[in-house]
Homo-oligomer: A and B are copies of this chain.
Amino acid sequence: MGTDGDQVDPGGEDRTPEKEHASERPVVTKHGAVVSRRAALGMMVGGAAVGVVGAKVGFSSSSGGDLSGTATEMGLDGPAAQAALKTYVPGGEYDEYFMMSSGGHSGQVMVYGVPSMRLLKVIPVFTPESWQGYGFGTDQGNIVLEEGSDPAKSNPLRWGDTHHPALSETEGSYDGRYLYINDRANGRIAMVDLRDFKTKQIFDVPNLQTSHGGCFITPNSEYVHISTMSPTPNTPSGYAPLSRYKEDFRGFSTWLAIDQNTGRFIMDESFQIELPPYTQDLADAGKLTSFGFGFINSYNTEMATGGNMNMDGSMDPAQSLEATATKNDYDFMHIIDWQKAEEIFKAGSGLKTINGMTVIPLDMAANEGILHFAPEPRNPHGVDVNPTGDYICVGGKLDPNASVYSIERIKDAIAKQDYQGTDDYGVPILTLESVLEAQVELGAGPLHTQFDNEGNAYTSLFVDSAVAKWSLGPKAGKSDADSWKLLEKLPVQYNIGHLVTAEGDTVEPDGRYLVALNKWSIDRFPPVGTLHPQNFQLVDLTTPQMEILADMPVGNGEPHYVQMIHRDKLKNVIQVYEPGTDPMNFTTSPYATAAGEERIERKGKDLHVYMTAMRSHYTPDVVEAQQGDVLNLHITNIEQTPDATHGFAIPQYNIEASIDPGEVVNIAVPLNRAGTFAMYCSEFCSALHLEMQGWLQVAPQ
């Protein structure tokens, strides 16, 4: 490679004489200098011409100067030029990793390629999205969104705040089957099927109004976990005065069993564990040596409720949560023995049912050894289990240290009942001395930790705007002398929240790339108004020192956590459905219609249209109806060519479908408005795409 090209002409300054006649209007170069147009073009063209004439150019030493010349002309210094080459993925070649990113309050999931950092797709999850017709009339989006919005509620939910994706696992490694993600705003969880990258289920988890401690998945996808963020009143109305916070409010840790064939939740095999009304934060699953355990951070063990202004207008600024919920030096890491909980759940006695969910009561969880607490530096954010499962790393947010607990010590302390007492709810608190393995001072605002394949940890430092690389201990393969050391700090731009390493949540990380998920971009990108993008920074972990390879603006959501999976593990992705597929379950739809079988059937007010779509027409292309009818469209895309997606839109009716090759969509439209409507294909499909149009005739009543 790279040595079989044509011979290179080392010159080039005069190869493009027609460009020399360009006008003299000044132009601004990439790095801001104003030069004459001719000079700029000369620079560009001269440089570009070197080394690119002919289809393929070798990198012999005699031609090595080509790239340097171009780099200089583009204003790239050495590291920048190296970064350019390390992140560029030519068209038709594929990124090595996929990054599955939460979209924050966009409610969606974003899929990026690494190292190019290109956004490959946005998967609509909790918020309707019209490009994919999700929530604009078709059954897939409508069913998922409706099922995910408890019908007893007076406000059907139409947005979410996605935070923490969890890829399904087999033996502690990503297996590329399913992706789960929580809705921090409304206490819900969704499942995306990685065969077609579509959301198949949203579940409004009972007893969780909001959720932060999810998702994590157990090492063989036995359960996906989601827990409360703010506790919720455990009262029939869902209301309680804040004066009753300690008595009436509770949190819940939810263990949803997964159907291995569909990825869906099996409700009668799922359970919750009642928790005290602290604010449960991030969570992680044990693995290998800590298999069977789950860990949840908490803050506001002060059980403060705010109140910085009274309803009579008097001010009390000291009552803001930022002050009152940060008083205790230590909060509690929740240590959950989910195998023990599963036993108790299956035994079935002493359990409660709350809003349809089987619950292990708090006193039972405390008494049966399901739930223990360990002190952790105040107001922690991340709790992250290293690849061997031995170390649980806590980012102390208001403490400069990473605090590392060992599962060996935890098990030992539990066995010895090495308690400093219990909390107000009777949950035993292990002594800090018995469980803490190490503390490593990292800097200001440690939040979240990821891992490589060499026993190192990487922790985001929000306040420092940096990534700290530090060494774990002997159980992660480090010598005693090399253990528990801060190795390096890399400044990032700016204010990093989470971070991710390649396959960093698995038992076998790849140790190749790290992405810093920065919350602020400020001046890193050209101004795009008063709302700035976030900034993903790709970091090379294979260089002697960590190096930033690229900044990627995120201007369509606010990622919190992401996971990075190797491309080869996504081996189930399909690009074309079997003919007549119902995408909700990959079976043949009862409404599938083949060419020649198209028909219109009237059943009273219900008009059923069995329609096909192919380049470049619908059959039928004219539908005659009466105002007051309900139009039931069953549309089959009868193409089998990859990428031959058709749209289907009805103006003025909020109907917009995206129908992939082989797919069947069903759309029910109450025809409450008379008129003549030019229904059309909204996805540019062919040279005669604009002619792919029909008429919906709704005669007035």
Contact = CB atoms under 8 A, between A and B. Distances in A.
B121 A528 contact: yes
Given A240-B676, A309-B621, A684-B558, A531 B197 contact: yes
Contacts of A510: 27
Nearest to A96: B30
A239 B308 CA distance: 59
A272 interface: no
Nearest to A19: B542
Query: Looking at chain A, what size class is its interface with the partner chain?
Result: 35 or more
B309 A616 contact: no
Q: In terms of DSSP, what is the predominant structure of the interface of chain A?
A: loop
A300 B463 CA distance: 63
Contact of A91 (B58, B98, B186, B548): B548
A494 B131 CA distance: 20
Interface stretch (A67-75, A283-291, A344-352, A359-367): A67-75
Contacts of A222: none
Contacts of A88: 74, 76, 80-81, 83-84, 87-88, 550
Contact of A52 (B65, B82, B684): B82
Given A64-B64, A88-B74, A88-B88, A598 B556 contact: no
B661 A113 contact: no
Nearest to A601: B313
Given A159-B136, A617-B308, A574 B530 contact: yes
Given A542-B44, A621-B307, A511 B76 contact: no
A93 interface: yes
A419 interface: no
Contact of A121 (B311, B533, B583, B663): B533
Contacts of A556: 119, 121-122, 131, 556
Contacts of A15: 544
Nearest to A57: B78
A675 B231 CA distance: 12
A16 B525 CA distance: 34
Interface string A535-577: 1010010111001101111011110100000111010011111
A197 to B, nearest CB: 3
B531 A22 contact: no
Contacts of A567: 28, 526
A605 interface: no
A700 B235 CA distance: 12
Contacts of A185: 649, 651, 656, 680, 682
A92 B493 contact: yes
Interface stretch (A252-260, A410-418, A421-429, A516-524): A516-524
A619 B695 CA distance: 54
Interface in A358-399: 379, 381, 397-398
A238 interface: yes
A262 interface: no
A474 interface: no
Nearest to A660: B530
Contact of A654 (B48, B159, B241, B305): B159
Contacts of A566: 28
Contact of A186 (B154, B241, B652): B652
A529 to B, nearest CB: 3
A698 interface: yes
Contact of A157 (B66, B519, B652): B652
B67 A82 contact: yes
A218 interface: no
Nearest to A79: B52
Contacts of A620: 308-310
A71 B77 contact: no
A75 to B, nearest CB: 6
B548 A155 contact: no
Interface stretch (A263-271, A319-327, A430-438): A319-327
A481 interface: no
Contacts of A570: 526-527
Interface string A674-701: 1111101011110110111111011110
Interface stretch (A164-172, A333-341, A401-409, A639-647): A639-647
Interface string A653-679: 110101011110000000011111110
Interface string A103-136: 1111100010100001111100001111111001
A239 B87 CA distance: 56
Most B CB contacts (10 A, CB to CB) among A53, A61, A497, A693 go to A693
Among the interface residues A72, A155, A596, which one has the most CB atoms of the partner chain B within 10 A?
A155
A604 interface: no
Contact of A131 (B103, B119, B512, B649): B103
Contacts of A31: 1, 93
A174 to B, nearest CB: 15
A306 interface: yes
A187 interface: yes
B153 A553 contact: no
A149 to B, nearest CB: 10
Contacts of A560: 684
Contacts of A490: none
Interface in A487-528: 493, 497, 508, 510-512, 519-528
Given A67-B85, A233-B675, 10 more contacts: A1-B72, A54-B78, A59-B69, A64-B65, A67-B82, A92-B523, A155-B654, A320-B691, A321-B617, A527-B573
8 nearest CB pairs, A to B:
A57-B78, A91-B551, A197-B529, A84-B88, A121-B555, A230-B678, A309-B620, A238-B675
14 contacts: A64-B64, A84-B87, A119-B119, A127-B129, A154-B672, A197-B528, A209-B675, A242-B622, A311-B624, A315-B598, A326-B688, A398-B687, A527-B574, A530-B577
